[in-house]
Amino acid sequence: MGSILANLLVSDDEPQVLEFIRRVLEGAGHRVTATSDPGQVQMLACRPGIEAIVLDVNMPISGFEVLHRLRQSSATADLPILFLSGLGGSRDRVRGLQQGADDYMVKPFEPDELLFRVERLLDSRERLVAPTPEPILTPANSASLPRSFDRYEVLDVIGQGSMGTVYRGHDPRLERPVALKTIRLEALSNERQREEMLDRLRHEAVTIARCAHPNLITVYDMGGLESSAFIAMELVDGMSLRDVIKATGPLSSAQVIPLAVSIAKGLEAAHQKDVIHRDVKPGNVLLGFDGEIKVSDFGLAFVISAMATDSTEITGTPGFVPPEVLHQQPFSAAGDVFGFGATLYESLTAVHPLAGTTLRDTILNTLHGIWRPIHQRREDVPIELEALVKVMLSTEPQARPPMTEVVQTLESMMLQGDLRWDAGLLTEAQAAAAS
């Protein structure tokens, strides 16, 4: 069963659970329209491009009633539907399937099960409506690539995500390689909204560009396309911290401390310009084979937030979102400190501190600060480093140290240990990933 990416409609009346379901699906590359209002499902399902629905049963309007309405309408009768419910009895399962659900999954569930069932749902639909495989987007298949964005030549695809695609490109005017990140704007309903978003993106790009720092990805340019925007930025030849951890497992304290100093300095420089990242995590830390350490995707979480149609939607990645944001408070610099603390914990243990077996568990762990101390996972981490991570993960934002203090603490550890970042770790990680 191949990976199929689609436009999904998700409805759950618990906003926090809804947001985390959305993040799981978007993290896999799907595009998601989310609503906590069951009365909006019928209308949203009729929007062009919706390909499947993930529907909660227990809502103010019964999910069974919403399902019935969807199946009675010619516009939505054929849409694949996955029922989510805390009702696990066989009678409830049978009722859901009898009324037209294509699959039925009982809460609580693991993210992997959700992704598997959604992919299976889409795979079945794909075999029915599109038996001819889509062409694979690869450098060898250059006909599938856009030729250019303004003056920038597109060479090949680096990666794809829920907000757009990242391309490897070339700037012929300045004769340098660039990364070209597209940002889809189709969710905005009219031309005026798209122009307003482009203006905000330009302002954000200018603000980020002013945060010039060796540990921040440099933004070169931005522009508008027909249904998206693009940002031209510095290209790093290397791997993300997430991929390194996945390939090699936990990093040593001697590796983490100098790495953390560079990350913290980049975030400190941004905070001094009143710029907040909003999504600090291992996937947004880029490590170059030449020894560079860069924080990427600054401000893109802002774009997701600005395009949200539901005021309850939460910007960030599950487990890296600070508790106060789950309580609908504004994202602040202290939120970046929290995400950075979770990143350091994962770097040292290869385990996310707040991840639960279900999305609800992750929410509760975050809200109540439930996580296992580092020394219970490994005993060789310096006490002062573990203490720093602990205070960075405080549930109260005012208890977390400002990034300037984090930098000072980490630099002191680095100097005391005479530590240096060794980019040779990337070669090991690359070999491990290929084996």
Q: Quick one: average pLDDT of 44-68?
A: 80
pLDDT band at 131 (very low <50, low <70, confident <90, very high): very low
Q: Does 276 have pLDDT greater than 70?
A: yes
169-190 confidence digits (pLDDT tens): 999 999 999 998 887 666 555 6
Between residues 150 and 121, which one has the greater pLDDT? 150
CA-CA-CA-CA dihedral for 435, 119, 62, 34, to nearest 10: 70
Q: Collapse the DSSP code of 230 into the 3-class scheme (helix H, G, I; strand E, B; otherwise coil) and give the result.
A: strand
Least confident window among 242-251, 311-320, 413-422: 311-320
**DSSP per position, 171-219:** ETTTTEEEEEEEEE-TTS-SHHHHHHHHHHHHHHHHHHHTT--TTBPPE
381-404 confidence digits (pLDDT tens): 999 999 999 999 999 999 999 999
Residue % of the chain over a pLDDT of 70? 83
Q: Does 422 have pLDDT greater than 60?
A: yes
Q: What is the pLDDT of residue 73?
A: 79
Between residues 204 and 79, which one has the greater pLDDT? 79
The Cα 106–Cα 120 span in angstroms is 16
Q: Quick one: average pLDDT of 323-345?
A: 93
The Cα 252–Cα 208 span in angstroms is 32
- The CATH homologous superfamily to which domain 144-233 belongs is Phosphorylase Kinase; domain 1 (3.30.200.20)
Instruction: Tell me the range of 60-64, 145-149, 210-214, 265-269 where mean pLDDT is highest.
Output: 265-269
For the chain, which residues make up each domain, given as ranges? 7-129, 144-233, 238-434
Topology of domain 238-434 in CATH is: Transferase(Phosphotransferase); domain 1 (1.10.510)
Q: Quick one: average pLDDT of 311-330?
A: 76
* Side chain identity at residue 218, one-letter code: T
Q: Quick one: average pLDDT of 33-51?
A: 83
The verdict on domain 7-129 having CATH code 3.40.50.2300 is yes
**Polymer length in residues for the chain:** 435
Three-class HEC string of 104-134: EEECCCCHHHHHHHHHHHHHHHHHHHCCCCC
The Cα 48–Cα 39 span in angstroms is 18
285-297 confidence digits (pLDDT tens): 999 999 999 998 8
